[in-house]
């Protein structure tokens, strides 16, 4: 079986009827940005199924416009925290937080794969995408920067960027719980218990606040400006505007968001570090860390020469792709989730930024290194960037999608 065939088999194998799970066991529900990337993968061989993935994701959109980070379409007691813990009161049950808004960017790529087949589908989806972006602008901005109210909202759960914000979270009153993730993946590759306690504490606070977005922003235990989500929203707004133009829709509202977010880049620029940096909005302190989220600036046309210098230093310190944290820093852990590993899907998003920024050489280098990871290690969730060891969950949906759409496109005919 070729790698292309294996990748398609993973997508169809993780299909649960209108939506995909990231991987069996570890992640048994529909995750927001995983699902959007799955749609891009499906578009390479089943355009109808690609649109269905996005439509099912938005079937869980809240009345406020928020699209939750997890939709619990079917009960699975093997996952914690499940729908009873979140207690969102929604149909379908969902988590009470969101994830980085990559759906508009993926929808644009799916549309470009077959504009004729996608026109009616994107016309129906467009108002929902617009409502979600409008929600971000209304409920997740502070000083022009996009903020996350839980590390899980960033999608980069335990990256060192959040350490200063997490340090202030009181987890002493957390109700007893049993983790399920370490039953599927080696604990050395997952967040540590002290981090998980704080994750649950933030969740319990939000649940107690009735998942009121404004109250959580104002008083919640965790609030950090996130370069990664900020730049992905900037990119997604541009893609949403392109979709609007294709549909003949007025883009004035979307266009008005651009200068707000462009100005917000100043909030997340740490001049002492010479890089974009996460900022604890409660204390005003920067994390002091060059994380992989900063390199999504290339997607937003917000890169600066100082960032180029950090990128080349960090990238040249490893063998495979962009590490999720600075390998020359004390906190680097090559195999522990977001504290060091290379993630194929994030490499793809960063590479798109390189291409848009006129750096095709960087884009090709990143594609080739990511392809090598997958050829050598399979379709894992993430990889050790120093030696290519596959880590995390196996048969991962977005890794398969990235192979089909990007990483494998430079491979030998037949998908390697």
Residues involved in catalysis: 157, 381
Q: Quick check: 162 and 224 in contact, CB under 8 A?
A: yes
Q: How far apart are CA 13 and CA 416, in angstroms?
A: 20
The CA distance from 210 to 317, in Å, is: 45
What span, in angstroms and rounded, lies between the C-alpha atoms of 19 and 35? 7
Integer CA distances (angstroms), 263 to 132, 141, 241, 253, 268, in order: 21, 12, 19, 17, 10
């Amino acid at each position: 079986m070729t790698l292309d065939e294996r990748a398609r088999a993973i997508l169809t194998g993780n299909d649960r009827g209108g939506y995909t799970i990231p991987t069996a066991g570890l992640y048994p529900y529909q995750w927001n940005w995983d699902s959007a990337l799955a749609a891009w993968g499906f578009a390479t061989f089943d355009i109808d199924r690609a649109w269905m993935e996005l439509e099912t994701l938005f079937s869980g959109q809240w009345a406020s416009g928020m699209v939750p980070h997890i939709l619990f379409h079917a009960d699975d007691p093997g996952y914690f925290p499940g729908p009873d813990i979140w207690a969102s009161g929604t149909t379908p049950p969902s988590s009470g937080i969101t994830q980085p808004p990559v759906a508009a960017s993926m929808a644009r790529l799916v549309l470009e794969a077959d504009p004729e087949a996608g026109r009616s589908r994107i016309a129906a989806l467009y108002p929902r995408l617009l409502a979600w972006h409008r929600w971000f602008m209304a409920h997740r901005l502070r000083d022009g920067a996009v903020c996350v109210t839980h590390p899980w909202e960033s999608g980069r759960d335990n990256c060192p960027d959040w350490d200063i914000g997490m340090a202030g979270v009181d987890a002493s009153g957390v109700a007893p719980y049993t983790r399920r993730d370490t039953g599927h993946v080696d604990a050395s590759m997952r967040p540590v218990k002290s981090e998980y306690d704080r994750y649950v504490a933030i969740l319990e606070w939000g649940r107690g606040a009735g998942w009121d977005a404004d109250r959580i922003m104002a008083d919640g235990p965790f609030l950090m400006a996130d370069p990664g989500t900020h730049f992905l929203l900037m990119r997604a707004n541009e893609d949403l505007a392109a979709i609007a133009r294709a549909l003949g829709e007025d883009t004035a509202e979307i266009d008005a968001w651009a200068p707000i977010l462009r100005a917000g880049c100043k909030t997340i620029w740490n001049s002492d570090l010479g890089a974009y940096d996460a900022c604890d909005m409660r204390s005003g302190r920067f994390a002091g860390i060059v994380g992989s989220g900063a390199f999504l600036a290339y997607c937003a046309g917000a890169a600066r020469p100082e960032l180029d210098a950090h990128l080349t230093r960090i990238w040249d310190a490893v063998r495979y792709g962009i590490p999720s944290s600075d390998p020359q820093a004390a906190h680097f852990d090559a195999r522990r989730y977001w504290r060091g590993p290379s993630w194929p899907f994030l490499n793809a998003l960063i590479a798109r930024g390189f291409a848009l920024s006129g750096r095709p050489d960087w884009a090709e280098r990143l594609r080739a290194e990511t392809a090598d990871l997958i050829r050598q290690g399979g379709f894992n969730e993430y990889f050790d960037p120093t030696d290519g060891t596959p880590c995390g969950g196996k048969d991962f949906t977005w890794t398969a999608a990235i192979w089909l759409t990007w990483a494998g496109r430079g491979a030998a005919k037949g998908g390697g």
